[in-house]
């Protein structure tokens, strides 16, 4: 079977079922566009949550201990793989920070020697509240450590919101994709029904089901390709022109991994897979059921 024949027959399916083809392509466009929107918004939300997580610091307050013991605590803190930074704040530095933050009221306190030395810990983005809690429980047992302060509730809330966003986005995306695949399936089914007499004739002269299926797979592929072009064009239009013009306060949402082609490539591939999957599903089911009797 020549490639030109497969393409010609695939394109002819659009003419035979114009309304159904338009519906399935539209559904694919909406599905791919929505997945792209969810992916880009979700990526930026993930980045924001990670930035907020990075801003949450763990403060380890020390007793009056020797410099040798302080160095030992610093080495133990930095030995944790999830700890990315352990900044030492001396008593003098703590006094200076206090004065800067409280202004005239801070200056009125002549002696700020009561402020303890401390370490400010920052953690890797993959560290969750449970991981940090385990480390804190161990640090609290260090000799020379007075108290460890950590806003665990805020971090747990951020993680819960991110998990809810991911699960909700995944659920909506799956529903949209499944609906689009079903519409492609229905379009190919109508095309097969319109060509049922031709299919019976082809079977009578010895054509295999695999041979007959190829044009229908091409039709699904072309639907996916057309939808990918339209959806990615709309995605670019919305995020690069419409949002910056009408909602400049939102700025331009970053592309995943800071490169446009990762998301666009994934959307094109997704559209082609959905078109092929829906057409293959229909072709395998209905061509086999088309009787030659």
- Hey, what domains does the chain have and what are their CATH numbers? 3-51+157-289 (no CATH), 57-150 (3.30.70.3040)
How confident is the prediction for the chain on average, in pLDDT?
82
Q: Is the dihedral of CA 103, 105, 107, 109 positive or negative?
A: negative
293: exposed, middle or buried (C-beta count within 10 Å: 0-12, 13-18, 19+)?
A: exposed
Residue 94 scores a pLDDT above 70? yes
pTM of the complete model: 0.70
- State the pLDDT at residue 193: 78
Residue 110: pLDDT band with limits 50, 70, 90: very low
Is the Cβ–Cβ distance between 69 and 88 less than 8 Å?
A: no
For range 122-144, the mean pLDDT: 88
Is the Cβ–Cβ distance between 264 and 170 less than 8 Å?
A: no
Q: Give the number of other Cβ atoms within 10 Å of residue 194's Cβ.
A: 14
- State the pLDDT at residue 268: 93
Q: What is the percent of the chain with per-residue pLDDT over 70, rounded to a whole number?
A: 91
Kindly report the CA angle at 155 between 152 and 159, in degrees rounded to 5? Answer: 135
CA atoms of 29 and 42, how far apart (whole Å): 19
CA 50 from chain center: how many Å?
A: 13
Residue 200 scores a pLDDT above 70? yes
Q: Report residue 193 as tokens.
A: 């029904």
For range 246-269, the mean pLDDT: 83
Choice between 289 and 199, residue whose per-residue pLDDT is larger: 199
CA atoms of 123 and 128, how far apart (whole Å): 9
Q: What is the DSSP letter of 239?
A: I
Residue 77: pLDDT band with limits 50, 70, 90: very high
Q: What is the DSSP letter of 242?
A: I
Q: Report residue 255 as tokens.
A: 């592309």
Residue 101: pLDDT band with limits 50, 70, 90: low
Is the Cβ–Cβ distance between 120 and 58 less than 8 Å?
A: yes
Beta bridge partners of 60: 119, 148
Residue 177: pLDDT band with limits 50, 70, 90: confident
Q: What is the percent of the chain with per-residue pLDDT over 90, rounded to a whole number?
A: 17
> Which of 234, 217, 235 lies closest to 272, judged by CA?
217
Mind listing the pLDDT tens digit for each residue in 209-256? 778 788 888 888 888 999 999 999 999 898 888 888 887 766 677 888
- State the pLDDT at residue 291: 54
Number of H helices, E strands in the chain: 10, 4
- State the pLDDT at residue 45: 82
For range 184-197, the mean pLDDT: 79
- State the pLDDT at residue 264: 92
Kindly report the CA angle at 181 between 179 and 182, in degrees rounded to 5? Answer: 65
Where do the H-state alpha helices sit in the chain? 3-16, 18-55, 67-78, 91-107, 129-139, 152-194, 196-204, 209-237, 243-246, 260-289
- State the pLDDT at residue 106: 47
For range 55-79, the mean pLDDT: 89
Choice between 198 and 40, residue whose per-residue pLDDT is larger: 40
CA atoms of 192 and 288, how far apart (whole Å): 11
Q: Is the dihedral of CA 198, 200, 206, 210 positive or negative?
A: positive
Q: Give the number of other Cβ atoms within 10 Å of residue 144's Cβ.
A: 15
């Amino acid at each position: 079977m020549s490639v030109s024949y497969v393409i010609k027959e695939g394109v002819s399916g659009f003419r035979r079922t114009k309304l159904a083809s338009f519906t399935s392509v539209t559904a694919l466009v909406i599905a791919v566009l929505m997945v792209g929107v969810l992916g880009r918004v979700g990526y930026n939300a993930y980045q924001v949550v990670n930035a907020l997580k990075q801003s949450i610091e763990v403060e380890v307050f020390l007793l009056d201990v020797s410099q040798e013991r302080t160095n030992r605590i610093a080495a133990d803190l930095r030995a944790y793989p999830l700890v990315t930074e352990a900044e030492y704040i001396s008593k003098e530095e703590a006094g200076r920070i206090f004065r800067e933050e409280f202004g005239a009221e801070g200056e009125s306190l002549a002696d700020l020697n009561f402020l303890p030395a401390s370490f400010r810990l920052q953690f890797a983005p993959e560290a969750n509240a449970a991981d940090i809690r385990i480390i804190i429980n161990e640090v609290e047992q260090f000799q020379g450590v007075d108290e460890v302060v950590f806003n665990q509730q805020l971090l747990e809330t951020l993680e819960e919101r991110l998990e809810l966003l991911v699960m909700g986005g995944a659920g909506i995306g799956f529903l949209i994709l499944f609906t689009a695949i079903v519409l492609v399936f229905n379009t190919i089914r109508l095309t097969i029904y319109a060509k049922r007499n031709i299919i019976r004739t082809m079977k009578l002269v010895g054509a295999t089901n695999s041979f007959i299926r190829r044009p229908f797979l091409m039709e699904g592929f072309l639907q996916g390709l057309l939808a990918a072009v339209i959806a990615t064009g709309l995605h670019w239009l919305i995020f690069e022109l419409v949002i910056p013009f009408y909602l400049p306060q939102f700025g331009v949402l970053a592309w995943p991994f800071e490169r446009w082609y990762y998301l666009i490539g994934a959307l094109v591939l997704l559209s082609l897979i959905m078109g092929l999957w829906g057409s293959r599903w229909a072709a395998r089911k209905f061509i086999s059921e088309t009787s030659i009797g």
